[in-house]
């Protein structure tokens, strides 16, 4: 196919590593695979890698005002429309105490996909997506 095997590693800066760790483990079932120190943690769902890096308190204003990031959202792939609805229901019941929020309710898209959007405690938007082609991949 191409020169690589896909985008399977994402690194995010966070303002409260403990809070963000709870969000990704409790709501998205990510498993910790490496925690080299108190400011970094790496997760996986089996075929990917998500790194969270603590921003130093004094550096938060610079990150918040940076004009250099254009990330719209990242996505997690689900196996079916029903799995999207189940995750949405679970998140509706548990997301706010973990510092996140629902951004958009589940919706069918023109290409046959189905998804909803939520935001983690730092406002990073995550699309929970069933996509007919990608969702079949193992």
3-class state of residue 12 by DSSP: strand
CA-based max dimension of the chain: 45
Question: Can you give the pTM of this predicted structure?
Answer: 0.91
- Which CATH architecture fits 9-136? Roll (3.10)
What span, in angstroms and rounded, lies between the C-alpha atoms of 16 and 110? Answer: 37
Ordered by start, the domain boundaries in the chain are 9-136
pLDDT of residue 120: 97
CB 42 within 8 A of CB 106: no
User: Which tens digit of pLDDT belongs to each residue from 21-80?
Assistant: 999 999 999 999 999 999 999 999 999 999 999 999 888 888 777 777 778 999 999 999
List the beta bridge partners of residue 107. 115
Higher confidence at residue 89 or residue 7?
89
């Amino acid at each position: 196919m191409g020169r690589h095997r896909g985008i399977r590693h994402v690194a995010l800066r966070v303002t409260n590593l403990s809070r963000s760790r709870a969000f990704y483990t409790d709501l998205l079932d990510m498993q910790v695979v490496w925690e080299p120190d108190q400011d970094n943690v790496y997760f996986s769902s089996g075929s990917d890698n998500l790194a969270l890096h603590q921003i130093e308190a004094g550096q938060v204003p610079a990150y918040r005002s940076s004009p250099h990031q254009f990330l719209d959202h990242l996505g997690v792939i689900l196996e079916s429309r029903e799995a999207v609805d189940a995750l949405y229901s679970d998140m509706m019941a548990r997301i706010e105490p973990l510092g996140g929020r629902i951004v958009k309710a589940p919706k069918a898209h023109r290409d046959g996909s189905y998804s909803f959007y939520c935001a983690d405690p730092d406002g990073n938007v995550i699309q929970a997506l069933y996509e007919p082609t990608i969702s079949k991949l193992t």
